[in-house]
Each structure stands twice: as structure tokens, then as C-alpha cells.
Homo-oligomer: A and B are copies of this chain.
Amino acid sequence: MTDQHRVTDPDEASRADPRQRRRDARLTQIVAEAWQLARRDGLPSISLRHLAERVDLRQPSLYAYFDSKLGLYDLMYADALGQLLAAAETELSPIDDPREALIEFVELCIRFSSADVVRHELVFERTIPGFKPSRQSHELLVQFRNIAAARLAAAGVHGQLATDVFTGIVAGFAQQQVISQPGGDRWLRLARPAMEMLLDGLPLLSEPRRSTRARTTRTKKRH
């Protein structure tokens, strides 16, 4: 029920401690098997019984690693975002051509969703009734959003309108790719033309009011 479901934080200080190492290994194994079960039975239908026997534990022993089923989802959520951030780290090239950098980013998003439906569901959909990411898990999402923000800014996409259109397009393409052709590239290939369309059409999406005087409604920020 609390905002903090997780029992341990794998990124803690005492990582050399062999006790902690064994525990972390087990935790990793638990999360990995949870993903497999989710892919097989659906995310909401994960059963702690099945999960326990997959990792050679008795079901109650799992409660040493999280304090409720929602805690397990939070572990998975943090894991998924870790994968996403890692992919961004390794697969995105630095921003030389801003247009290419943005396309690259969108393609990364679609590939991420397409590669694992349940991972996509957990991160971007409202599949689990009571689930809300914990503070530190949500922080990972914020990090990812910052990557997007940087590339949007570099490509000249400013303002809430244009940003919302961008978000909507990416969300829609990823979702369509997932539900109508998981693993395929039908929507992935649309990332480039769609982004070109968006960038070319930016004037249509300029913020409505920079009313009379200066064309800098950003005075606040600059000051």
C-alpha cells in the first residue's frame, strides 16, 4: 500500500558483502523468472506460487524480497527502465544531426516496446490495477524523459503543443506496433517519415499566444 514496495535496493553501499551478493543474485533471478511468467500468462496473472517454484523457493520465502505483489511489479518496473536507459546509453549516438538524433530516439522507443509486449505494458500502460511506481523507480522514467527533452530541443521542437504531438505519435506508433504486429517493423519504419512530417510542420504547432509585443514569451525563463 505504501509508496515504497521494494524491500532492498540493489544499488546500495555494501555490494562487496558476499551475503548481499548472493541476495542480489537471487533477486535478479526472481525478476528474470517473473518476466518469463508474465510473457507466458500475462502480466496481471503472475502467480507467486509459480514464481517461487521457478526459482526453487517456497512461495512464502518470496516475501523476503518484496513485501507484496505490487512490490514485485515495482522491481520489474525498475528493471524495465534500467533496460531502457541502458539501451539509450549504448544505442544512441551523440547529437550531431538533430533530425537524425530525434529519429534515432523514436526508433529506439518503438523497438523497445516491440521487443517485449509485457515490458511495454508495465511501463507505458495501466495494466496493473493498484500499481504505482515507487519514487525511485519513477525517477528512472524522469531520466529517460530528459533524454527525450534534449533531443526535442536540439531538433527545434519547443512548447507544449509540439511536444504533446510528438509524445502522442511515439506512444501511438509503439502501441500499434505492439498490438498489431509485435516484433515486426511495420510501424518502426514509419518513424522517419513521421518525424520528417512533424519537423516540417512545426510552424503549424507554434504556441497559440505570444500575443502583442515581444516574440519572447520566455522572459520568465531567461530572467
Cβ-defined contact, B190 with A200, below 8 A: no
Main secondary structure of the interface of A (DSSP, over half): helix
A: which residues have CB within 8 A of B? 41-42, 44-45, 121, 125-127, 129, 161, 164-165, 167-173, 175-176, 179, 186-187, 190, 193-194, 196-198, 200-201, 204-205
Cβ-defined contact, B175 with A175, below 8 A: yes
Cβ-defined contact, A165 with B179, below 8 A: no
- A selection of 28 A-B contacts at a CB cut-off of 8 Å is A42-B129, A44-B129, A121-B126, A126-B179, A161-B190, A164-B190, A165-B194, A168-B169, A168-B172, A168-B173, A168-B175, A168-B176, A168-B190, A168-B194, A169-B169, A169-B172, A170-B172, A171-B175, A172-B172, A172-B175, A193-B204, A193-B205, A196-B204, A197-B198, A197-B201, A197-B205, A200-B201, A200-B204
* B residues in contact with A45, CB < 8 Å: 129
* B residues in contact with A129, CB < 8 Å: 41-42, 44-45
In the complex, the 6 A-B pairs of residues with the closest C-beta atoms, listed nearest first: A172-B172, A197-B201, A168-B172, A171-B172, A42-B129, A168-B173
* B residues in contact with A176, CB < 8 Å: 164, 167-168, 171
